[in-house]
Amino acid sequence: MFESIKLEKEFKERLDKHYDELKWLYSELYHNDQQAFDYFLCMLHQYYEERDPDLREWDEARELVPDWYRGNEMLGMQMYVNCFNKTLKGVKEKIPYLKETGSNYIHLMPLLESPKGRSDGGYAVSDFRRVQPELGTMEDLKELAEECHRNGMSVCMDFVMNHTSEDHEWARRARNGEREYQDRYFFYDNWDIPNRFEKTVPQVFPTTAPGNFTWCEAVHKVVMTTFYPYQWDLNYRNPVVFNDMTANMLNLCNHGVDVIRLDATPYIWKELGTSCRNLPQVHTLVRIMRMASEIVCPGTLLLGEVVMEPSKVVPYFGTIEKPECHMLYNVTTMASTWHTVATQDVRLMKHQLGQVFALPKQYVFLNYLRCHDDIGWGLDYNYLKQFGVEEVSHKKFLNEYFCGAHYGLDSRGELYNNDPRLGDARLCGTTASLCGIEAAEYERNDWKLDIGIRLDIMLHAFLLTQSGIPIIYSGDEIGQLNDYTYHEDPEKWDDSRYLHRGAFKWDEVAARKSPAKRQGRIYKALRKLEKLRSKHIVFESGADCWIVETYNDHILGIGRYFHGEKMIGLFNFSTQDETAWINEEEKYIDLMTNKRREAKAVGIPARDFVWLIAKC
């Protein structure tokens, strides 16, 4: 009885903290629908009551240290369950390996039930309450999360909120003619309104899935399908959709998921006559979801997937007073990194990082070199224009470079969603293969291999120098190469993203102990970098960061300062040895050699880096 009273008091206190704003935003969005709002509050109470006592303890601990995820010890690893070790139980068995890599945050790629051959890699969910049978069960997910928590690790999962599979129960009932369920999507009796949408709404996949609508023969109507014909866009104008989808999210939280990745966040509100991207109502929805999580499961984080230019990304943090997402992907820096590899010119990177460094330190980015997706060349072409760079020809140059299209180019990537008409395409490939390691091993060229491995390690050092949470795609820690077997799979052959989504090479893991092999050289170097990062307070997200002028367009310089530690990171993107013309007065130690080194006219080998640190 006492425990019940205590819980009711806690829920009321959390709700009271947000109630006025919650009701105001909800009523504005859904036209004072009191019944829907009352249902929403009852739903929040239900999931609060159902939350496991152990998870409540996690909530309490994280509320005491609200910036727990901003430290320099955070390190993530992203994986597909089936690729990593077949099932959720298989992932659980490999927690010792994950701990050995230093990972304390694992991102499980989509694993909820989705139809074979029409899933877009798991992003067409047919049941938000069931795991894909071959991967396990919801109970397996819960047990994996519990084991991760016992080992001090957090779990992230994708929450696909823009659409459902056409096989979802709501979609099946909509196809059967039930108006209530058709209202959960965007159905139109003819092409008049869809054609008006098409005038202003860009296409996501113009070659593989052109258009934003699909004819539904079962009901002789048109349905909105922004991504693929088998992914039906949800109508968030309908409060029933928002209530039920929020419940689906909270159900994942109550199964132990610590970080909810909000997939395709900018797309979730549709308005005729607009691009249907980044509309103000999207921010209202995300803000309400943030408050819902703080009421039910305050230890949970929201990670926004916003693959847009920086001016569109930053607003998803919300404000300091009214926050939205806890974290956002640093997509622009990732794309700019590979641009810099190809051009060997750091000026765009300096410009872009200068914008990031100017943001409030409370804003936490999730930083990465590679992920499950393709690399899109959404660069700042207005800035590049001053150097004579033209967008279409530059994208062509970048793609040819990373596909090894010409003699002397050693990157091994493949194009995704190539549209020759627009001169546009995106890029796929593992970090190691894009760095030239695959080509070097094929040619048995030790000199090229050294350069490729050095570039791979330098890029990871740059990743770890950035503020925020670094996340490594599973396999990159051992330099895993492209997997070309997808070409022979009828369910995958037309999606080149499977090039870097290959099965984890457990037979290569033993080689991580060998200092002579690619796996060992990369693994040992990354572990050293990660340990140094966790040891030095200057890598905390709260550090002051700035661009260090190197007077060399091939070398990127980054300065960091926090609580008496000053760090200078220098990254040579050139294929030639270069000098960073800096002149810092403090007495520095080279972190990689642990020897004293002056921060004056620092020479750096091709594709290499220097970490210098001083006590101030």
Residues annotated as part of the active site? 263, 305
Q: Which residues, 6+ apart, have CB-to-CB distance to 96 below 8 Å?
A: none
H helices of 264-413, in order, are 280-296, 310-313, 331-343, 347-357, 381-384, 391-402
How distant, in Å, are the alpha carbons of 283, 305, 329 from that of 264?
A: 13, 6, 12
Q: How far apart are CA 194 and CA 498, in angstroms?
A: 32
How distant, in Å, are the alpha carbons of 226, 228, 375, 503, 566 from that of 206?
A: 11, 10, 16, 29, 48
Q: Which of 355, 384, 345, 297 is nearest to 555 (CA)?
A: 345
Amino acid 526 reads L
Phi, psi of 65, deg, nearest 5: -125, 75
Say if CB 426 and CB 375 are below 8 A apart: yes
Q: Which of 380, 286, 295 is nearest to 25 (CA)?
A: 286
Place of tokens 């001083």: 614
Maximum pairwise Cα distance, the chain = 76
Phi, psi of 383, deg, nearest 5: -70, -45
Write out the DSSP string of 260-298. EEEETGGGS---TTS-SSS-HHHHHHHHHHHHHHHHH-T
Six-digit token pair at 173?
């009932």
Q: Which residues, 6+ apart, have CB-to-CB distance to 551 below 8 Å?
A: 580, 581, 582
Q: Which of 472, 259, 215 is nearest to 368 (CA)?
A: 472
Strand-pairing partners, residue 365, are 328
Six-digit token pair at 499?
């090039």
Q: How far apart are CA 401 and CA 378, in angstroms?
A: 17
CA neighbours within 13 Å on the CB side: how many for 541? 22
Q: How far apart are CA 438 and CA 452, in angstroms?
A: 9
